[in-house]
Amino acid sequence: MRKKVTVIGAGNVGANCALRIADKELADVVLVDVVEGVPQGKSLDLLQSGPVQGYDVMLTGANDYEPTANSDIVVITAGFPRKPGMSRDDLLLANYEVVRAATEQAVKYSPNSILIVVTNPLDAMCQTAHMVSKFSKNRVIGMAGVLDSARFRTFIAQELKVAVENVTAVVMGGHGDTMVPLVRLSSVSGIPLSELMDQATIDRIVDRTRNGGAEIVKYLKTGSAYYAPSAATVEMVESILKDKKKVLPCAAYLEGEYGINGLFVGVPVKLGARGIEQIYQVKLAAEEQAMLQKSANAVKELVDVIRQKHG
């Protein structure tokens, strides 16, 4: 039987996820959005690209969740962008409502699905989806680390003028400016980064990675990145649907790993047919562990705001 993926939110990230899933012929796609006509129009447009691109999957748009029934994966990209005058907490609570409602509906129709959360603030939205769905922790996964490490890899390859496919990089922690690019675990075909660049260059690249999202917002002005975020999401979708067991940095619910308890934080995981099949605990240096803890504290602050408001 063909696989089925629901993408909630037919905006920039959602529509590009649908496009990439179709292009790779991974699954039939249902796009859901609150705006009438948009998911229908975009999915019809994507369907009509099939004969030219050579893919043959079904793409459907909807404003309700009935057509999403029995999805293998549900990708949640629905949300509001930050508007002028909105505080970080206002945005957090607005997107909490969106992700809560989306999760509630999606899991009603697809109780056996795996949830991939993309909406920001990412780690807090994962927590929301986890609380609302009551899914086991292996079936709620946040997309952040794949994107952040793709940015890190891009900048390393640019700097060294080497093929980006030779660059491996690990970014852990929350998806925000406290993320932890792990220089020690990053390499070019196995050659440690520290042997290829001086510390000042590494620091500059790490800093640019931490601000990678903001750099793009500054250019776009009216929105945030979507090509790399959708590519990162679909790498996760593919690893799950094809049971590839790729090891990727993703936001996962930690229960004691890295000394962190009851929070979603980005760590290396194995992604396969059961979702998160393993969480890797890498031995961290004291300084790295301190950065990770700081990042987890920043995630906890947001989760506490939600808890205060919603219990």
Residues between 112 and 141 with contacts to ligand APR, criterion CB under 6 A: 118-120
Cα torsion for 207, 177, 125, 258, to the nearest 10°?
90
Q: At residue 155, what are phi and psi to the nearest 5 degrees?
A: -70, -35
- Least separation in angstroms between residue 57's CB and ligand APR is 21
Q: Give yes or no for residue 101 binding ligand APR (CB under 6 A).
A: yes
Cis bond upstream, residue 39 (ω within 30): no
Active site residue 175: yes
Stretch that binds ligand APR, among 5-13, 180-188, 275-283, 289-297 (CB under 6 A): 5-13
Biggest CA pair distance of the chain:
55
Q: Which residue is nearest to ligand APR (CB)?
A: 11
Q: Tokens 């909105």 label which residue?
A: 86
Question: Nearest Cα to 207, choosing from 215, 195, 219?
Answer: 215
Stretch that binds ligand APR, among 27-35, 152-160, 179-187, 199-207 (CB under 6 A): 27-35
Question: Nearest Cα to 256, choosing from 277, 274, 281, 226?
Answer: 281
- Least separation in angstroms between residue 118's CB and ligand APR is 5
Question: Nearest Cα to 192, choosing from 224, 160, 218?
Answer: 160
Element (H, E) at 172: strand 167-172
Q: Give yes or no for residue 61 binding ligand APR (CB under 6 A).
A: no
- Least separation in angstroms between residue 103's CB and ligand APR is 10
Q: Give yes or no for residue 223 binding ligand APR (CB under 6 A).
A: yes
Q: Give yes or no for residue 77 binding ligand APR (CB under 6 A).
A: yes
CA count, 13 A, side-chain hemisphere, 178: 20
The active-site residue out of 175, 210, 270, 300 is: 175
Q: Give yes or no for residue 226 binding ligand APR (CB under 6 A).
A: yes
Q: Give yes or no for residue 145 binding ligand APR (CB under 6 A).
A: no
Stretch that binds ligand APR, among 41-49, 71-79, 267-275, 301-309 (CB under 6 A): 71-79
State the CB neighbour count (10 A cutoff) for residue 147. Answer: 24
Q: Give yes or no for residue 253 binding ligand APR (CB under 6 A).
A: no
Work out which of 11, 173, 272, 275 binds ligand APR, going by CB under 6 A. 11
Distance CA 5, CA 237 (A): 9
Q: Give yes or no for residue 86 binding ligand APR (CB under 6 A).
A: no
Strand partners, 191: 188
Give the residue with the Cβ less far from ligand APR, 34 or 157. 34
Give the residue with the Cβ less far from ligand APR, 199 or 222. 222
Work out which of 7, 10, 117, 232 binds ligand APR, going by CB under 6 A. 10
Distance CA 310, CA 46 (A): 39
Q: Which amino acid is at 175?
A: H
- Which residues make Cβ contacts (< 8 Å) with residue 35, sequence separation at least 6? 10, 63
List interacting residues with ligand APR (CB under 6 A): 8-14, 32-35, 77-79, 81, 98, 101-102, 118-120, 223-224, 226, 229
> Residues with catalytic annotation?
175
